[in-house]
Each structure stands twice: as C-alpha cells, then as structure tokens.
Amino acid sequence: LAVKDPTAVERANLLNMAKLSIKGLIESALSFGRTLDSDYPPLQQFFVVMEHCLKHGLKVRKSFLSYNKTIWGPLELVEKLYPEAEEIAASVRDLPGLKTPLGRARAWLRLALMQKKMADYLRCLIIQRDLLSEFYEYHALMMEEEGAVIVGLLVGLNVIDANLCVKGEDLDSQVGVIDFSVYLKSDDDIGGKERNVQIAAILDQKNYVEELNRQLNSTVSSLHARVDSLEKSNTKLIEELAIAKNNIIKLQEENHQLRSENTLILMKTQHHLEATKVDVEAELQTYKHSRQGLDEMYNEARRQLREEAQLRQDMENELVVQVSMKHEIELAMKLLEKDIHEKQDTLIGLRQQLDEVKAINVEMYQKLQVSEDAMKEKNEIISRLEDKTNQINATMKQLEQRLQQAEKAQMEAEAEDEKLKQEYVNKSESLQNEFSQKEKQLLQLETDLKIEKEWRQTLEDDLQKEKETVSHLRTETQEIVNLKKEFLKVQEKNKQLKSICEDQEAALQELASKLSESKLKIEDIKEANKALQGQVWLKDKEATHCKLCEKEFSLSKRKHHCRNCGEIFCNACSDNELPLPSSPKPVRVCDSCHAILIQRCSSNVP
C-alpha cells in the first residue's frame, strides 16, 4: 500500500471538521433562533475549529525570548488588503483585556462573524499567496485548495446573527479543544427535519430581504457620497465662475477705455489731417498765382527783346555775344522751370502720403518768396538792359560798358541759380528723410493696431471659454438635480419594499393560523368518519324528502349527499361551509358527521 502524505490527511480532516461545525452551527441556529450569544456551544466549537485551521502549517517566528507561533500575523495583514477591515483591527488593538496575539486573533474572528464578512476577509487573504508564504508553509491548509473550500463554506454563515460580548471575555487563556460528541446524530434530530425545512425556507426568504436591504443601503450611501462630492465641486465651480465673471467685467471696462482712447486718437488725427490739407491747398494756390505772374513777366520781357532785335538789325554782328548770352539765360530759365515742375510733382506725391509737413511747406514758401525777389531783381536788370539799349543809339562806348555790366550781372545770376539748385537739392534730401521717418511712424502705428487686434482676439477667445465653462457648470448642476431625483426614487422603492416585506410576513402569519385551524377541522372530520364507517348510502329513488326539513326535493331544493353517513339534505339545510386551501370556494359540510357533501340531481331532474 502507498503511504499517504500526513499533511494531506491533516488538511482533509480539518476540512471535514470545518464542514461539520459550519453545518451543525447553521442547523442549530435555525432551530434555536437566528441571534446567537457567545455561550452557545456550537458557536464555541466553530471558533475552535477555525483556530485549528488557521494554525495548520504556521511558521515559527523567532523573538528575543522564545519562539512564537500565532495566527495574529496573517489576520493583521487583512487590513492592508481590505480597507473595511481597518475598523476591526483598530477596535481589537484598543481592547483593554487582551494581552497576547492569540487573544487578539480570537477577538478578530468574533468581530468578523458579527459583521458577516469573515468569508470576504479570508478570501482576500487567500488570493495573496505570496504574502501568506511569509507566515505559512507551502503545505499549509491556507495555501492549498482546502482553504478556498472553507472560505466558500463560510459564506453560509451570513444567515446567522451573532451578538457576542468581546470586551469582558477572557480570550487569552481559553483552551481550544474540539468536542466530537456534538457532531454525533440522535433520533430527535431525525424527527425535526421537516419542521427545520419549513423554518429554513422562511428564514431564507428573510435572508434574501436582508441582503436586498443591505445592497440598497450601500447604493444609498454611495449616492450620498456622490451627491456630497458633487455639491462640493459645484460650490468650487460657482466660486470660480464668480471670479471669472469679475475678471470679464474688468476686461470689458479696460476694453471700453481703450476703445474710447482709440476713438479720441482717431478724431485728433483726422482734425490734424484736415488742417494740414487746408494749409497745403492754400500754399498751392499762392504758388500758382506767383507762377502765373512770373510767366506774364517772362512773356513781356521776351516780347520786348524781339522788338529790340528788330530795331537793332544793323547792330547784330556787334550784339551776337549779348544775344548768345540771352539764349543761355533762356536755357537756364527753362532748366529752372523743369526743376520747378519736377519738385512740384514730388511735392504732390508727398502731400498724399505725409500728414504733418506744415512747417516744411512754410519754409518752402519763404524760399519761394526769396526766389521771387531774385526774379524781381532780374526784371530790374532787364529794365536796365532796356535803358542801355536805348542809350546804344547815342554812344557805342556806353553800350559796351553796359554789356560788360550785363555780363557781370549774368554771372551773378548764374551763381545765384547754382545756389538755388544746391538749396533745392538739400531740401529734397531733407524731405526724403522726413518721408522715411513718416513711413517708420506709419509702420509703428500699423504694428500697434495689429497688437491691439490680437489682444482683442485673445479677449474674445477668453470670453468664449468662460461661456463654455458656464454651460458645463449648468449641465453638471442638471446632473446633480437628476441624481437627487433618482435618490428620492430609490428611497421610495426602499420604503415600498419594506412595506411589501411587512405585508408578506403578515400574510405568512395569517396563512399559518388558517392552516392550523384547517388541520384541526380535518382531524375532527376524520374522527367523525371513523365513527360513521359501515353505514350504507340511501338510494336516490328512495330519497324524495329532506331529512331535516322533510320537504320534497325540486329544482330550487337540490340534493346534497354525505359521503360517510349516507344522509341526503337539501341546499337550504346544509349551510355549514368549510374553507379548503386546495379549492377556491368553500365546500358544504354534513350537520351530523361534518363530512363533505356531494351535490346530486333529484329523481325528476335530468
């Protein structure tokens, strides 16, 4: 024969003992009552068996004084894996009468049973086998499949309500010995199985209602927590919304101020532009008038020169030099006119682009007056030349002297013309510099406008974001309102379920009372039937009259025949009725033997 592993045999024995103790505890609790005290023997035996199961394969831990072997270590590990077990561990540590780890472990088992969560706690412990390996050997009960089986059996203990006093009990010095006499069967147990089955069915219904109520309470508590968190988040969001609204109002005020300042700047620039335009138009008109006068004077001088040429045809050879000089003067004047036209075109282009050129135009006007003075001086020179031509007829010598003077005056005029050209070049360069400066100012203004537009766009985006947050907050508040409505509906359903449970319990009590009454009546009927056995039924043809009222049977008075005594009564005399659970209507009963009557047809009715 193969030798069995002793650890496997130990595990099998402990599993069988756990099955017997849990089964015996549940059956005795159903017969004794749902709530159990700490003095109840099957409950004490259950704790002893659980202690042996937890001690199986436990490693010996070294300490300073001796070797320690206790089950408090793995049980203390449960609070790290299952957060709801922290309350039990804290209450066990705070108990004043416990001094040893074994006493704390026994108190922990009792509190877990009272909470109906012993199976959940041990299931979390069995799943983490890598942590259990620190406390148990590899062949221990908690490390093998038998531990999972025991955890599954512990789920059935949720039917039991335990009321245990842990504070005053001496748990440190208890001796854990298994009493096997409790698990031996007796004749009384066999006789009460039927009654236990009925009570177990009723208790199962009550257990189902309790589990449903517990689930509803958990959902209600979770909804409460969710509502509280949503209310807190709602208050925070409302505060943030108020802050955001204040920021929006401040930004709108700043935007309004900036817009007002921008409008004022635009109005000022428009007024300034209008004033500069008026000044430039006035300067143009004056320039045109002065040019017309110069043209007229030039035409008159030209006409006079032509007349003098006709008069001095004889002296052409002598005055060739003077005529050539005059032609050169005319060419210089034409060049001056071209320069003036070009400068006028440049001035027109600058007037369209520049805004503030009033001072420069005033300077140009003054210089134009200087040029007019120079032209007047030239006109005086021309008049002097006319005088000299008149004097030529008198003396040629005076004419030569005057020609020399004219040459000197012409040289001076050429020098003055060169000076004017240089001045015009300098002025054009200065105007170009100012034009470049104005362009830079325009670029700066354009960049400022772009920055202002971008800032405005950012403000609009912020406003849009704030609107989106407001809409999101509104949706969340709507969800909170819907959750409150759902919570109220759940409360109403809980109330309805409680009322239904109470009605069902009342109905069960009424059914029990009616069943007891019907059983008593059925027993009375059986006794009457035993007493009336052996009697013979009366034939239908012979039974023509009712035995009680002695009236003839007819359509209105029908026959009712008793099964036991054989007597025949009419429907008016047989008024005794008995309700039965199997029939929807009450049945008629015989007056003498209380048996059930059978309705039969009379002799003259088909």
pLDDT tens figures, 355-401: 776 776 677 778 878 877 878 887 888 778 777 767 766 766 776 78
Q: Is 395 left (phi over 0), alpha (psi -120 to 50) or beta?
A: beta
pLDDT: is 184 or 435 the higher one?
435
- pLDDT above 90 as % of the chain: 4
- R_g of the chain, CA atoms, integer Å: 64
pLDDT: is 235 or 431 the higher one?
235
538 neighbors 567 (Cβ within 8 angstroms) = yes
Closest CA to 46 of 136, 156, 123: 156
In tens, the pLDDT along 35-48 reads 777 778 888 889 89
In tens, the pLDDT along 304-322 reads 888 877 877 777 777 677 7
CATH number, span 4-181 = 1.20.58.900
Q: Does residue 1 surpass a pLDDT of 50?
A: no
Do 4-181 and 544-605 come out as alike in CATH topology? no
Tell me the pLDDT of the chain averaged across its residues: 79
Average pLDDT over residues 241-255: 91
Instruction: Say whether 587 sits in a helix, a strand or coil.
Output: strand
Strands (E), 163-240: none
> DSSP labels for 526-545?
HHHHHHTTT--PPPTTT--B
The contacts of residue 269 (CB under 8 Å, 6+ apart) are 355
Closest CA to 248 of 472, 461, 451, 448: 461
Q: Which CATH number fits domain 544-605: 1.10.260.40, 1.10.1760.20, 3.60.15.10, 3.30.40.10?
A: 3.30.40.10
Burial class (CB in 10 A: 0-12, 13-18, 19+), 489: exposed
Domain spans, the chain? 4-181, 544-605
In tens, the pLDDT along 3-26 reads 578 888 988 999 999 898 898 888
The contacts of residue 321 (CB under 8 Å, 6+ apart) are 403
* Local confidence band at 68 (pLDDT 50, 70, 90 cut-offs): low
In tens, the pLDDT along 453-507 reads 888 888 888 888 888 888 888 888 888 888 888 888 888 888 888 888 888 888 8
> Which residue's entry shows tokens 């030529």?
392
